Amino acid sequence: MERMTRRTTSTANPPETDTAFSAIQLDGPVAVAEPSVPVNAIVAVPRTRPDRIAKAISLIFLPPVVAIVTLAILSLHFSDTTQEAVWAAVIASIFVSIMPVTYIAYLLRHSHLSGGYELTYQQERLRPYLFSAASSGLGNAALWWIGAPAPVVALTSCYGISAILLAVINRYWKISAHAAGAAMGVGAMVVAFGTPALPFAVILPAVCWARVRIHMHSTPQVCAGALFGTLSSFAPFAVFGIR
């Protein structure tokens, strides 16, 4: 009878184990093993108010969102008619932002990305960057074909070229795409509108702070992204002769 009892205890209803931690009950204190999650996994930590603010800033100023808003403003300001402005804004937004975001959603749906929509892991950013570059190139051709305003064409070129350069840099270093995207938007607004657009510059340090605050990037990475975005936004405008 005692033998049957031991056998039942050892085989029926085995104790559940935690996927992240395992504990071994000893005669003394409980010994907790190291976490079994991957080294580069995202660790959930208690959120303070600054953390929540930083996360909200990161969501509001996602690079595709900044691109859509900036392209729409430039289209409305520089187009001769409302219809022209709508066509330019829609085409630019589709190729620069919507198609790349759709591609990222496709990768997420088919479990090709484990770092989420923000592309947390450096090694998972190559394909989205290259797709964004190709999509922006197609959008640039479409904008040329419909005769879109030069600033809209210039900014679309900026996004395509920047995506290629970011893909190259990303092979060696995780530069901040958030900071680069914010800087491109702010730079385009300043070039197009001059000093009246300078208040928009506050967006850039806010985004840089947010990315460092939620541990997505280091300070050098966001500073490099901001510098990269600023330079890459001014260059196409200079080529097009836009002042």
pLDDT digits (tens, 9 = 90+) for 97-147: 999 999 999 998 888 877 677 777 778 888 999 999 999 999 999 999 999
Alpha-carbon gap, residue 96 to 99, rounded angstroms: 7
CB 114 within 8 A of CB 121: yes
- Say if 106 falls within a structural domain: yes
Mean of the pLDDT values across residues 69-98? Answer: 95
Alpha-carbon gap, residue 70 to 72, rounded angstroms: 5
**Of 66, 58, 82, which is closest to residue 149 (Cα–Cα)?**
82
- Say if 124 falls within a structural domain: yes
Give the count of domains, the chain.
Answer: 1
What pLDDT, on a 0 to 100 scale, did the predictor assign at position 221? 95
Per DSSP bridges, beta strands 23-24 and 31-32 are antiparallel
**Of 112, 92, 96, which is closest to residue 104 (Cα–Cα)?**
112
- Say if 24 falls within a structural domain: no
Average pLDDT score, the chain: 81
What pLDDT, on a 0 to 100 scale, did the predictor assign at position 9? 42
- Say if 109 falls within a structural domain: yes
Instruction: Provide the domain limits for residue 170.
Output: 50-239
What pLDDT, on a 0 to 100 scale, did the predictor assign at position 121? 78
Answer with the residue of higher pLDDT: 92 or 20: 92
- Say if 39 falls within a structural domain: no
**Of 243, 67, 237, 63, which is closest to residue 154 (Cα–Cα)?**
237
**Of 193, 220, 191, 196, which is closest to residue 208 (Cα–Cα)?**
220
Q: How far does CA 197 lie from the centroid of its chain?
A: 24
**pTM for the whole structure:** 0.76
